[in-house]
A and B are shown apart, each in its own frame.
Chain A
Amino acid sequence: MFKRIPTFRGGIKLPGKKELSKNEAIEQAPAPKVAIIPLLQHAGAAALPRVAVGQRVMRGERIGEKCGAVSSPVHSSISGTVIAIKEIALPGENKSQAIFIENDHQDTTVFLDPIEFDNAEPSRLLGRIDEAGIVGLGGAAFPARIKLTVPSGKNVDCLLVNGNECEPYLTVDFRLMVERAAEVARGVRVLLRVLNISRAIVGIEQHSRPAIEAMKEALASEAAISVLPLKVKYPQGAERMFIKAALGRMVPSGGLPSDVGVIVQNVGTALAVYEAVCKGRPLVDRVVTVSGEAIARPKNLLVRIGTPIGDLINACGGITMEKATVIMGGPMTGTAVGSLDFPVIKGTSGIVVLPHENQVIAGDVVCIRCGRCFNACPQGLKPFDMAELDGPGLIDEAKKLNVLDCCACGVCSVVCPAGRHNSGIIRKLKASVMKNQINDGAP
């Protein structure tokens, strides 16, 4: 009688801007002339190249080998000839070796064999997920195999499928759920088989009515998998906030979701897992939303990994304004890039082109201690204190303020009336604390 839509503390309401692209059916993007496939598209160690310049490769062939435990193989998304292996800069401050492949437009494909997952051993399915190079497609790009391997001593009882897509402009998960709900549902079942549990909850933000309906229909026969509409609030799609809203459980500070018996996977990852297991297809394509007020025709494109983003922008009619900001990712957690040569990688969920004045340049601003950043922080941290830290003892103070729990959602910068770039300052602080921890050898 008094049901209240589940949500979490803090967060803010953002203009979703989904209407720009939510009704665009997923289109196949044109294949690139030269695919640039970085060997570091995931969290962890970069893959090692296993092809040489001049070698002919096929679509789906493994061109990068795992390097260590926290790593992922890389596959070619086109067929053609390797023309170069050199270092490129990635958005942000990363660099990676990348394999440049010239497309012969033949699309000669070599996929793996399909597996019947209903009775398969979870370890075999995990091996296939690993082989296919599946990483979290929600943006973090963490190797899926590691996430799905529950450490001994921890009990997982529920799988949460993240269909929230709280970032403005992005409609990737929405279109996947509307158009391919049955396959997503099968992907969820594969994941449940891998984890050897039966309960799953698909969380979708309340305003995505068509996606909720489509998933409910696709999961109608599954009693233990439910679809949960969640309150529309940013960052509902952040892992910890999602777990809190869906199950009421709080991941402990410094802990992981498996500490509270949950594994979270993105809807796109579930679909990729289904394709890897049931169709033998490694991760060579992904859906990307190209949207924004400065793009001529926003679209949702099925893109081959390695396509330069300039090609996608052209496929959407080009940039309509003289001065524009091109962001890889969403406007809240993405990075603005200065060149259109960056390739689409496994973690790229969107390309948002905004008019230039959306750029927030923080000048010499002073905190007025209004507390809005604290009220909005979903993790309950104190951004106003963290952004003021200075001098010796900085690292200890930062650790006391739980800076490592910051989920980098950017809400603290959005709500600051003084225009302070809190999230940027805290990001740098976090990096210093982590570097300090590695130097100290702290766990």
Chain B
Amino acid sequence: MIDSPGPYYHANDSTPRIMADVAIACLPAALCGWFFFGVSAFITMLVCVIGSVGFEILFDLCLKRRFRAGDGSALVTGLLLAFVLPPAVPWYVCVTGSFVAIVIIKGLFGGLGKNILNPALAARAFLVVLFPIALSSYSAPVHAFLSFDATTAATPLSIIKTKGIAAFASGFGDAGGLYLKLLIGDRGGCIGETSALALVLGGVYMMARRIISWHTPVAMIATAGLIAFLTGGHMSGVIVHVLSGGLMLGAFFMATDYVTAPQFPFGKIIFGIGCGAILMVIRLWGTFPEGCMFGILIMNIFTPVIDRYTVPKPFGAVKQLRPIRASVLSKEPSPVDWKVLACLGLCPPVAAATGLREALLMGTGILSVYVLTFAVARSLRHFLLPSFSPFFIVAAAGGFTAAWVLVCRALFPELFSSISFYAYLMPIALPVIYSAMFLRRGGRPANSFLLIVAAMTLILCLVGAFREIIGSGALFGAVVARPTVPWVKTVPGGLATLALFTGVFGALSRRRGRGNRQHGEKP
């Protein structure tokens, strides 16, 4: 019996278990790499793994330390190193790469937990300099596990760099065939990076097992996609860029490395944005065809700085200690925030809805999107990871909005064509994001949430009716009022009407609220 403080319980998590999960997540990509590139890919992976584990054991032996090779991190590093190498590299390149990754980048910096650069990517950077020819000879896919062929071929990104993206796309035939090939990985490239589908599968597995969070992959891929969109203008360019090169591999497996990436959620997003941006800059305007490796390595260097400035405020951290009214300290958003956001969100549809019919159309759209999104989120909440829920809610809302837009276009074409599509986005995006943040923090917003959405719809319809009556004097064709003010039907007029109505509503609710307030509750 021993005398010591607890806790006397430990969760089942352990470092080897985490590494095993990462290795399982790598399996689909490893199998795809082996299938597409044959025996040479298998040998490369084998030599890298054996080399990494071997060097870790040797390193510990030389330093007379306890063997840490059992924790699995060397195995994962070896596998990921193989993933970023071309399939037909000679064995000595693999061995050198393992040595650099394990001994120089990890070991000499202090071992697991102390390296500042991603070992696999830093090793690749070394190899690009030491063996430039070996690292730039890629093979064409062979589609057989046991094939020994290794004909050289160019990777999609090198074709894009030399000939431009249009030439690349035309070389594959139709767009559908191109996207499918890129998705499943039927293209030249490094062993693990070709199959976007396999990598996404692995990434989703890791997110489900809570090994990585969604922040970095989503930020990185979204940034790269956005830059591709802004510079190219076509969705096809975006798809090609997102599915080519090492973006998927980097986003899910490299940029999420525990040791070298930021710890806090907001920092992870910044890290992902930085990686995606540097990656695309190099791809578009640099001399290298692929920039993933450099993007991640450069952002690795910024990780300590990012960590320092993105520390979330701990529980109850306020500057002063004097007794403060609970409403200021509590993190529940006060109703004022809701009203501001609702008004902001109402501006575009109000501007667009010049009549009652348009207003009703948009209003029912908003209401149904909200109800559907939150019904789905509510029923799936047991299956959703807490960190997924804002992402999921925004995605679901977007999906339902798109569905609603399609339905409207089909059923009310002439009415729909008079409304700009973007007018649908604002009222949906702002409050959904806001309430998603709220749900994530574990508050209780949604009791009044539907009421607020219903109020927004009501205001929208009232504004629409007001503008139709005052602006054109007729409601649904029947003449109602004689002197008309056509200005009300313009955009400034609509916003002024909105201001009038929200002022009136606000004053009414304040009068009613004053009587019901309980002692100590927020006003």
- Residues of chain A at the chain B interface (Cβ within 8 Å): 1-4, 6-9, 12, 14, 91-92, 153-155, 157-158, 168, 199, 240, 244-245, 247-255, 258-261, 324-327, 329-339, 352, 354, 358-360, 364, 366-372, 374, 378-382, 384, 402, 405, 410, 413-419, 423-424, 427
Q: Which residues of B289-319 have CB atoms within 8 Å of chain A's CB atoms?
A: 311-318
Contact of A334 among B6, B66, B113 (CB under 8 A): B6
Bound: A104/B355 CA distance, A:
93
A410:B330 contact, CB within 8 angstroms: no
Residue of B nearest to A17 (CB): B9
* Min CB–CB distance A377 → chain B (angstroms): 8
Residue of A nearest to B2 (CB): A336
Bound: A338/B15 CA distance, A:
31
B287 within 8 A of A: no
B4 within 8 A of A: yes
| Residues in A neighbouring B317, C-beta threshold 8 A | 252-253, 380, 402
B264 within 8 A of A: yes
| Residues in A neighbouring B326, C-beta threshold 8 A | 247, 249, 260-261
B8:A261 contact, CB within 8 angstroms: no
Q: Which residues of B1-52 have CB atoms within 8 Å of chain A's CB atoms?
A: 1-11, 13-15, 17-18
* Min CB–CB distance A46 → chain B (angstroms): 21
Interface of B (DSSP majority class) = loop
Contact of B258 among A154, A260, A334, A369 (CB under 8 A): A369
- Asked, given contacts A247-B330, A369-B113, A380-B314, whether A4 binds B321 with beta carbons under 8 Å apart, the answer is no
Bound: A244/B312 CA distance, A:
17
* Min CB–CB distance B50 → chain A (angstroms): 23
- Asked, given contacts A402-B314, A415-B13, whether A2 binds B378 with beta carbons under 8 Å apart, the answer is yes
B54 within 8 A of A: no
B314:A379 contact, CB within 8 angstroms: yes
B315:A380 contact, CB within 8 angstroms: yes
B1:A326 contact, CB within 8 angstroms: yes
B163 within 8 A of A: no
Bound: A257/B326 CA distance, A:
11
* Min CB–CB distance A318 → chain B (angstroms): 14
Further 17 A-B residue pairs, CB within 8 A, beyond A248-B330, A336-B6: A245-B442, A250-B315, A259-B324, A260-B329, A261-B326, A325-B8, A331-B7, A335-B6, A336-B1, A339-B1, A367-B113, A369-B258, A378-B315, A414-B11, A417-B18, A423-B7, A427-B5
B421 within 8 A of A: no
| Residues in B neighbouring A155, C-beta threshold 8 A | 323, 520
* Min CB–CB distance A390 → chain B (angstroms): 14
Residue of A nearest to B257 (CB): A369
Interface of A (DSSP majority class) = loop
B263 within 8 A of A: yes
- Asked, given contacts A248-B332, A415-B13, A417-B18, whether A374 binds B444 with beta carbons under 8 Å apart, the answer is no
13 pairs from A and B in contact (CB 8 Å cutoff): A253-B316, A255-B321, A259-B324, A331-B8, A332-B7, A332-B8, A335-B3, A336-B2, A336-B6, A338-B3, A352-B8, A369-B113, A371-B263
Bound: A324/B8 CA distance, A:
12
Interface flags for B483-523 (1: CB within 8 Å of A; 0: not) read 00000000000000000000000000000000000011000
* Min CB–CB distance A200 → chain B (angstroms): 13
Interface flags for B426-459 (1: CB within 8 Å of A; 0: not) read 0000000000000101111111011000000000
B329:A249 contact, CB within 8 angstroms: yes
B324:A410 contact, CB within 8 angstroms: no
Bound: A359/B6 CA distance, A:
8
Bound: A423/B264 CA distance, A:
20
Bound: A339/B2 CA distance, A:
9
| Residues in A neighbouring B14, C-beta threshold 8 A | 417-419
- Asked, given contacts A3-B447, A368-B113, A369-B113, whether A382 binds B2 with beta carbons under 8 Å apart, the answer is no
Bound: A34/B3 CA distance, A:
24
Bound: A2/B66 CA distance, A:
53
- Asked, given contacts A249-B330, A410-B6, whether A153 binds B323 with beta carbons under 8 Å apart, the answer is yes
Residue of A nearest to B17 (CB): A417
* Min CB–CB distance B310 → chain A (angstroms): 12
| Residues in B neighbouring A260, C-beta threshold 8 A | 326, 329-330
| Residues in A neighbouring B312, C-beta threshold 8 A | 380
A381:B6 contact, CB within 8 angstroms: no
| Residues in A neighbouring B446, C-beta threshold 8 A | 1-4
A424:B5 contact, CB within 8 angstroms: yes
B112 within 8 A of A: yes
- Asked, given contacts A250-B329, A260-B329, whether A419 binds B5 with beta carbons under 8 Å apart, the answer is no
Bound: A423/B374 CA distance, A:
39
Closest 5 CB pairs of A and B: A2-B446, A410-B7, A157-B520, A380-B314, A331-B8
| Residues in A neighbouring B439, C-beta threshold 8 A | 4
| Residues in A neighbouring B7, C-beta threshold 8 A | 331-333, 360, 410, 413-414, 423
* Min CB–CB distance A328 → chain B (angstroms): 10
| Residues in A neighbouring B331, C-beta threshold 8 A | 248, 250
Contact of A9 among B73, B111, B113, B315 (CB under 8 A): B315
B259 within 8 A of A: yes
A414:B9 contact, CB within 8 angstroms: yes
* Min CB–CB distance A336 → chain B (angstroms): 5
A368:B13 contact, CB within 8 angstroms: no
B4:A336 contact, CB within 8 angstroms: yes
A374:B264 contact, CB within 8 angstroms: yes
| Residues in A neighbouring B113, C-beta threshold 8 A | 366-369, 418
A379:B258 contact, CB within 8 angstroms: no
- Asked, given contacts A252-B317, A372-B13, A384-B263, whether A2 binds B6 with beta carbons under 8 Å apart, the answer is no
A415:B332 contact, CB within 8 angstroms: no
B258:A371 contact, CB within 8 angstroms: yes
B112:A366 contact, CB within 8 angstroms: yes
Bound: A254/B319 CA distance, A:
10
| Residues in B neighbouring A378, C-beta threshold 8 A | 315
* Min CB–CB distance A259 → chain B (angstroms): 5
- Asked, given contacts A4-B439, A8-B442, A405-B316, whether A338 binds B9 with beta carbons under 8 Å apart, the answer is no
| Residues in B neighbouring A333, C-beta threshold 8 A | 6-7
- Asked, given contacts A253-B314, A325-B1, A382-B311, whether A358 binds B442 with beta carbons under 8 Å apart, the answer is no
| Residues in A neighbouring B15, C-beta threshold 8 A | 368, 417-418
B520:A158 contact, CB within 8 angstroms: yes
A369:B259 contact, CB within 8 angstroms: yes
| Residues in B neighbouring A360, C-beta threshold 8 A | 7-10
Bound: A367/B111 CA distance, A:
10
| Residues in A neighbouring B73, C-beta threshold 8 A | 368
Bound: A332/B442 CA distance, A:
24
Bound: A382/B311 CA distance, A:
9
Bound: A91/B449 CA distance, A:
51
* Min CB–CB distance A50 → chain B (angstroms): 31
* Min CB–CB distance B52 → chain A (angstroms): 17
B6:A332 contact, CB within 8 angstroms: yes
Residue of A nearest to B371 (CB): A1
